[in-house]
Amino acid sequence: MAKPPKSHPIATLLALLLMAALCVGVAELSVARFEDPELYDTVTAPAREAYQDIRTRVETYAAEREAEREAERERQRMLELSRQLELDRLREQELHLELEELAAQDLAAQLASAPTIREKLIFADPTITEFIEEDGREVLTGGNLSLTYFNQGDELWASQLFGIDRIGGYGCGPTALAMVIASTVDETATPANVASWAASAGYCSLHSGSALSIVEGAAAHYGLDYTALGALDADALYTTLSEGGVIVALMGPGHFTGRGHFILLHGVTLSGGILVADPNSRDNSLAVWEPQTIVDELSRSRHDGAPLWLLSPPLAL
């Protein structure tokens, strides 16, 4: 087993002498503190100054570090506040969009109601369009084809059901489609039997009228050519209608309704007007309408092809 190294006698002696000197110095300072305070202050002044300087540096450093930590905490608080404000802004934006969509849906709900705009109508010359009786049917002449005209408020079907609602209140969709169907591919179509089919096929919305998908569904069921047009400007609407077919239009508040309402656009005039078949108004159906008026009052709904759909029989009209 190795023996621990021996201490060098000189190193040991020096350590003892240093300890002795230190003890003597401390003792002398203790004595001087009471016997000669002035000498004591003179001797210890450098040490006190050094201690005070170190203490000041330490306190300053600690204060700086604490200020930095507080600044970092404040920065984090501001970042969190900024994130929260951004989240609140996004939530408010989402809520605003949801409210707009709900408002649009409510206005798109088809309920026979008074129009929000009432103006004196300019009726078309009878050579352009008029109501006539033909083979026991009421026919609206002119345009791209003469339409078998149905009015949802007529006593023959006004009280009949469209789902659990009445055709007279909520049946503008089936009534408008019945006009197209009876005039082209199935002369036995009426608002009542089209409403019955639509309800059984799931196109009836409780207290809201027709689901907008009813137009495409009816085209497929009854064998009509179908094109979803969406929204068009006035020139495109006039041009498209002048090329043939009948356009189903979902209207918003204005000359035709206070909420939502299906009408038909069935022709144009040489003077630039549009002919309408309104399933809730014979007067509206005899007037000539400016394309821009129609465009301005289209529903804001933009799904399932809304607000304009082009229908035509498989063969050219």
Q: Identify whether residues 228 and 140 lie together within a single domain.
A: yes
Higher-scoring residue by pLDDT: 110, 304: 304
**β-bridge partners, 225:** 312
CATH number, domain with residue 202 = 3.90.70.10
pLDDT value of position 97? 60
- Calculate mean pLDDT across residues 16-23: 56
Q: 171: exposed, middle or buried (C-beta count within 10 Å: 0-12, 13-18, 19+)? A: buried
Helix (H) or strand (E) holding 311: strand 308-312
Q: Identify whether residues 82 and 152 lie together within a single domain.
A: no
Strands 225-228 and 288-289: unpaired
Q: Quick one: tokens of 70?
A: 């507080």
pLDDT digits (tens, 9 = 90+) for 254-294: 999 999 999 999 999 999 999 999 999 999 999 999 999 99
Residues 6+ apart with CB under 8 A from 231: 295, 298, 302, 307, 308
Q: Identify whether residues 73 and 212 lie together within a single domain.
A: no
Instruction: Grade residue 77 by pLDDT with cuts at 50, 70 and 90.
Output: confident
- Pick from 75, 108, 141: which residue ends a domain? 108
Residue 31 scores a pLDDT above 60: no
pLDDT value of position 111? 82
- 254 within a domain of the structure (yes/no): yes
Number of C-beta neighbours around residue 189 at 10 A: 23
3-state secondary structure of 166: strand
Q: Identify whether residues 148 and 83 lie together within a single domain.
A: no
Mean pLDDT lowest among 62-76, 91-105, 189-203, 277-291: 91-105
- Pick from 108, 143, 173: which residue ends a domain? 108
Q: Identify whether residues 56 and 193 lie together within a single domain.
A: no
- 262 within a domain of the structure (yes/no): yes
pLDDT value of position 100? 53
- 7 within a domain of the structure (yes/no): no
Q: 34: exposed, middle or buried (C-beta count within 10 Å: 0-12, 13-18, 19+)? A: exposed
Q: By C-alpha distance, which of 218, 226, 239 is closest to 295?
A: 239
Q: By C-alpha distance, which of 270, 252, 272 is closest to 262?
A: 252
Q: Identify whether residues 180 and 294 lie together within a single domain.
A: yes
Higher-scoring residue by pLDDT: 183, 26: 183
- 8 within a domain of the structure (yes/no): no
The span from the CA of 195 to the CA of 297, in Å, is 25
- 161 within a domain of the structure (yes/no): yes
Number of C-beta neighbours around residue 183 at 10 A: 24
Residue 141 scores a pLDDT above 80: yes
Residue 107 scores a pLDDT above 50: no
- 278 within a domain of the structure (yes/no): yes
Looking at the structure of the chain, the number of domains it has is: 2
Q: Identify whether residues 235 and 162 lie together within a single domain.
A: yes
Q: Identify whether residues 81 and 147 lie together within a single domain.
A: no
Q: Identify whether residues 99 and 137 lie together within a single domain.
A: no
- 5 within a domain of the structure (yes/no): no
The span from the CA of 49 to the CA of 55, in Å, is 10
- Calculate mean pLDDT across residues 121-149: 95
Q: Identify whether residues 101 and 183 lie together within a single domain.
A: no
Helix (H) or strand (E) holding 214: helix 214-222
N- to C-terminal Cα distance for the chain? 120
- Calculate mean pLDDT across residues 99-114: 63
Residue 223 scores a pLDDT above 70: yes
Residue 203 scores a pLDDT above 80: yes
pLDDT value of position 316? 46
- Calculate mean pLDDT across residues 143-169: 96
Mean pLDDT lowest among 68-72, 95-99, 192-196: 95-99
**Structural domain containing residue 67:** 20-108
Higher-scoring residue by pLDDT: 10, 260: 260
Q: By C-alpha distance, which of 137, 117, 138, 120 is closest to 129?
A: 138
Higher-scoring residue by pLDDT: 156, 19: 156
Q: Identify whether residues 164 and 221 lie together within a single domain.
A: yes
pLDDT digits (tens, 9 = 90+) for 158-169: 999 999 999 999
- Pick from 43, 77, 108: which residue ends a domain? 108
- 291 within a domain of the structure (yes/no): yes
Q: Identify whether residues 198 and 304 lie together within a single domain.
A: yes
